[in-house]
Amino acid sequence: MKIFLVYAHPEPKSFNGALKNQAVESLTELGHDVKVSDLYEMDWTHYLGKKCYTEIENKDFFKPQQESMGKKFIEPIKKEMEKVAWSDLVILQFPIYWFSMPGIMKNWVDCVFARGFAYGGDVGILENGGFKGKKLLISMTTGGPSMFYSKEGQFGEVQRTLFHIAHGMGFFCGMDSLKPAIWFSPARIGQEAREKMLKEWAERLKGIENEEIVPFHHTKDYDENTYQLKKGLKTNLEILGDF
């Protein structure tokens, strides 16, 4: 498989760094092709705006959705698009920051998942999105322990919280989600438990090609006029939370 690992953590010696290194090592050993974008190392300061393009078509009213169709992206964004296009699986490795991905990674998504490439124009959405045939795997660390991230816990069910990434960014563009890997509280559990987690990660990655995907609804499951789920179907939020 061609695997593109996008990694965002400010400290290379962090557990996020270790998870990234473990993934690169394991996946390479398994015979996969691996590319990595280390967003902190790259000092990714691009955000969706005029500077994403080498030339702006409509100088009077800037509209990224429109400019993106012209495909005049700056080199750093083009390179990332090429890596996404190349890949069969995208792994996002990050620490939870405010119940989402770090801003540096969100900016990466905003810039790279451009209209006409990820969705829109001639490209569809959901199972017809620009990234159809690809898979997405979120690998995220938390500060707090797992009990806080349960459905009835103080922070709410973590998989549901990640709906905006797994469905909103991933499946929106056609990427099938694998079950997000949540690494609870590595900073507080000691070296031995962290090493156990790394082994679990390596173990999971052995079967990565044949994992089940989160069964988000395809277009056929929605009424074609109202775009509402057909009667009796679970919502995507419930599907993700219960997967």
Summarize as ranges the residues that interact with a copy of itself (CB under 8 A).
10-11, 13-14, 40, 44-45, 47-50, 61-65, 97-111, 113, 125-126, 143, 147-148, 150-157, 160-161, 163-165, 167-169, 172, 222, 226-229, 235-237
Rounded to whole angstroms, how far apart are CA atoms 172 and 165? 9
Do residues 165 and 113 lie in contact, with contact meaning Cβ atoms separated by under 8 Å?
A: no
Rounded to whole angstroms, how far apart are CA atoms 4 and 10? 19
14 or 21, CB closer to a copy of itself? 14
For the CB of residue 31, give the shortest distance to a copy of itself in the complex, in Å: 33
Residue 100 per-residue DSSP state: B
Tokens read off for 95: 């620490």
Assign residue 10 a region: left if phi > 0, alpha if psi is -120 to 50, beta otherwise? alpha
148 or 243, CB closer to a copy of itself? 148
The three-state secondary structure class of 92 is strand
For the CB of residue 150, give the shortest distance to a copy of itself in the complex, in Å: 7
For the CB of residue 239, give the shortest distance to a copy of itself in the complex, in Å: 10
For the CB of residue 209, give the shortest distance to a copy of itself in the complex, in Å: 27
13 or 31, CB closer to a copy of itself? 13
For the CB of residue 196, give the shortest distance to a copy of itself in the complex, in Å: 21
Which residues touch 153 (CB under 8 Å, ≥6 apart)? 147
6 or 111, CB closer to a copy of itself? 111
Closest residue by Cα to residue 101 from 8, 12, 236: 8
120 or 204, CB closer to a copy of itself? 120
Rounded to whole angstroms, how far apart are CA atoms 173 and 159? 19
For the CB of residue 91, give the shortest distance to a copy of itself in the complex, in Å: 18
Tokens read off for 174: 């056609």
152 or 212, CB closer to a copy of itself? 152
